[in-house]
Structure 1
């Protein structure tokens, strides 16, 4: 039980860190030259595989791409689902 709790806790923390990475990726779009820095390349390399799942959805309105917002919301739903399932199984 303690090991499972620790694993779930680490998974939730990793999802929090990934959420922060997605926010950083979105903020970097305001200054596109940041994508060329070493930090920007790391952020792009980490975030693009997940964001590519949402590229084909029709989420572009008025010249803005809202796929990152939907990707962030889905990630938070996944995180919430893990908490609900964990609470339902162990408590």
Structure 2
């Protein structure tokens, strides 16, 4: 079962890194139009969309991706704790 926990851990880590890269791509013009940008958009936008809908920007700063990353980290920790408790 330790292998399953490692797979879950690394899946969450990969997705967190994908989100960070996707968010940083907003600083570069036309970065979303590249192949990597389109791929990251397909996997990150569905997760980020509910956060963007409910959390308004503060001035010109959109904090919804930060909240989304925090929720993802809490979910990872909770899920791993749950699996450790069950096992």
Runs (5+) with no aligned partner, structure 2:
none
Moved more, 17-26 or 32-41: 32-41
Higher strand share: 1
1:39 is aligned to 2:42: no
Q: Which contiguous aligned blocks of 4+ residues in structure 1 show a shift greater than 4 angstroms?
A: none
Aligned equivalents of 1:9, 1:59: Cα separation in 2: 35
1:1-91 pair list within 5 angstroms: 4-90=1-87
Give the C-alpha shift of residue 43 in structure 1.
Answer: 0.9
- Aligned alpha-carbon RMSD (Å): 1.2
Compute the TM-score of the two structures, normalised by the length of structure 2: 0.91
TM-score by length of 1: 0.87
- Structure with the larger RCO, 1 or 2 (CA within 8 Å, 6+ apart): 2
User: 2:66 aligns to what SS in structure 1?
Assistant: helix
Give the SS at the match of 2:84. Answer: helix
Displacement after TM superposition at 1:52 (Å): 1.1
Aligned residues: 87
The unaligned stretches of length 5 or more in structure 1 are none
